[in-house]
Amino acid sequence: MERFYKTLLFNLPDVVYQINAMGEFVYVNDSIAELGYDPRELIGKHFDTIIQPEDRDAIDRMIYFGGDTVGKPARQPKFFNERRTNERITRNLRVRLRPRSPAANREPILGEVFASGLYKPGPERGKKFIGTVGIIRYVNESLRSAKTLSKTEQYYRLLIENSFEIIMITAHDGTVLYASSSVERVLGRASFGLIGESIRDIVHLDDVRAVEAAIGGRRAGQRPRRRMEFRLVDGAGGVKHFEAAITMIADECHGAAMCYVFHAIDITARKEIESAMEKRERIYKILLRTSPDAIVLFDADGDIIMANDRASELLGQRREELIGRHFMSFLFEKEKARASNLRRRMVLARVMQSYFLNNVFTLRRDDGGELPVEVSFSAINDPGGIVEGYLAVIRDITERRRAEEDKRRLEEELLRIVTSRLSGREIELLKYIHDGLSWPAHKREIGKAMDVIPGTLDKFVSRIKQKMGAADMDEIVNIAALRFKWFR
């Protein structure tokens, strides 16, 4: 991968260079060919080889001794021997460049320079300056030619400019020396505006330390982390997630970091999906934990692979003891055939999810007790309709069974009362009410039909309520209708 990014550096349309502490080139990419130089012929030569002689004094900043001027005070363009890092680096500095074979009628070649100092790995204090790394961007429109674009098509245009991936090149301290134009599409930031800034300025505050640690291996002579995730702040102040491959381009002489290449992919959408899935998973776990019903997941063979706390409580076993148990082991012999038939129906349903609701079984607890339950099954099928498993929601209906039994006994008692305590005339009154003459709205009509006065009807009703121990005439009528099989 490092070889790939070195190739990328070599094919950028901007001049990427490194010089040593003496001002001699130790690396320069192929874009220097626009000045007529072979990159190999510049290695070991002094930086001023590519600077117009008349411009050297104009951009001098520091006195140096070296090269072919040993022992003679001379001046040196600061950006080529830049020692500063971070915010104080040289940036956007215009300089006239010298072609290998100057033509009399050729327009001056202008370059815009960004440069940062390089230091040998070691303690912060007393660290040794070993050179400078920088980028020269040609200003002349004529050098932004179709030839240049064609040369970089494979490594630069398709990979960087037309994608939503970001390429950034930083100095060893995190200072941005280059940012692909995709930064504008992805982050809403101008690529030129990032040059010279620290990558820390666009990394989310909570991730700065991790990014520093990732490229901090240079201090221990180690490679940085190859891949990591971090967040970047976009131009509007929003946050986007990225997965980045970080590649250190090493100084061939000292083994120190010349620069780092960040190849970052926007994974915001993936993170949002993962976050939503995690949220749903948390909700599902809460629902499983707090559900009043037992929830059990079986594999295709009918063995339990998941059970919630309520299932453990109902079946009288710890959850880990339930795992691997076959659902038939919780059934009495008389119900196993019915359960097998239900399973066959689910297999034959051949739908993505087939539901079989409200099946009543009596489960056998491990302590020998009986547990009446209502079970709703769902078959979990693959896209081809093959059953992969079953989800069962099990509800304890013990209390409901008890209430139903109490109601049954009460109805039986009331039916007995109807036949043993009510007189024929009282039953006749109930029949008239059942047939549509509601009480007391139709008292007059009922009295005429029975040939009794209203006062006598009132006595009939009062005695019926007293004998039945109920105040609701409609309920009493329904019980009588059940006993005598009255139908409308």
99-142 per-position pLDDT tens digit = 888 775 567 788 888 888 887 766 666 678 888 888 888 877 66
Query: 86 pLDDT exceeds 80?
Result: no
Query: 462 pLDDT exceeds 70?
Result: yes
pLDDT band at 472 (very low <50, low <70, confident <90, very high): confident
Question: Highest-confidence range of 150-159, 247-256, 330-339, by mean pLDDT?
Answer: 330-339
- pLDDT at site 369: 79
Q: What would the mean pLDDT of 255-282 be, rounded to a whole number?
A: 83
- 139, 262, 429 from 153: Cα distances, Å: 20, 19, 100
**DSSP label at residue 50:** G
16 in Cβ contact with 32 (< 8 Å): no
Query: 201 pLDDT exceeds 60?
Result: yes
Query: 231 pLDDT exceeds 90?
Result: yes
- State residue 74 phi and psi, 5-degree precision: -145, 170
Q: Poorest-confidence range of 35-39, 203-207, 406-410, 447-451? A: 406-410
- pLDDT at site 164: 62
Q: What is the DSSP string of 436-476?
A: T--TTTTHHHHHHHHT--HHHHHHHHHHHHHHHT-S-HHHH
Q: Poorest-confidence range of 131-145, 329-343, 439-453? A: 131-145
Q: Which helix (H) or strand (E) holds 262?
A: strand 257-266
Alpha carbon distance 66, 44 (integer Å): 12
Q: What would the mean pLDDT of 155-161 be, rounded to a whole number?
A: 48
- pLDDT at site 123: 64
Q: What is the pLDDT of residues 206-220, one digit of tens each?
A: 999 888 888 765 444
pLDDT band at 205 (very low <50, low <70, confident <90, very high): very high
168 in Cβ contact with 175 (< 8 Å): no
Q: What would the mean pLDDT of 30-37 be, rounded to a whole number?
A: 86
* Percent of the chain as helix, strand, coil, to the nearest 5: 45, 30, 30
Q: Poorest-confidence range of 18-22, 71-75, 281-285, 344-348? A: 71-75
Alpha carbon distance 370, 364 (integer Å): 5
Name the E strands within 350-427: 353-364, 370-381, 387-396
Q: What would the mean pLDDT of 18-34 be, rounded to a whole number?
A: 86
50 in Cβ contact with 39 (< 8 Å): no
Alpha carbon distance 263, 273 (integer Å): 22
- pLDDT at site 13: 63
- pLDDT at site 42: 92
pLDDT band at 150 (very low <50, low <70, confident <90, very high): very low
Domain architecture of the chain: domains with CATH: 2-268 (3.30.450.20), 291-396 (3.30.450.20), 415-484 (1.10.10.10)
Query: 16 pLDDT exceeds 90?
Result: no
- pLDDT at site 121: 64
Q: What would the mean pLDDT of 449-458 be, rounded to a whole number?
A: 87
pLDDT band at 374 (very low <50, low <70, confident <90, very high): confident
437 in Cβ contact with 473 (< 8 Å): no
Q: Poorest-confidence range of 13-17, 141-145, 399-403, 474-478? A: 141-145
Q: Which helix (H) or strand (E) holds 77?
A: strand 74-77
- pLDDT at site 219: 45
Query: 157 pLDDT exceeds 70?
Result: no
Q: What would the mean pLDDT of 168-174 be, rounded to a whole number?
A: 82
Alpha carbon distance 177, 160 (integer Å): 15
- pLDDT at site 233: 93
75 in Cβ contact with 56 (< 8 Å): yes
Q: What's the mean per-residue pLDDT of the chain?
A: 77
Question: Which amino acid is it at 8?
Answer: L
- Give percent of the chain above pLDDT 70: 78
Q: What would the mean pLDDT of 437-441 be, rounded to a whole number?
A: 86
Q: Give the predicted TM-score (pTM) of the model.
A: 0.47
Q: What is the DSSP string of 392-410?
A: EEEEE-HHHHHHHHHHHHH
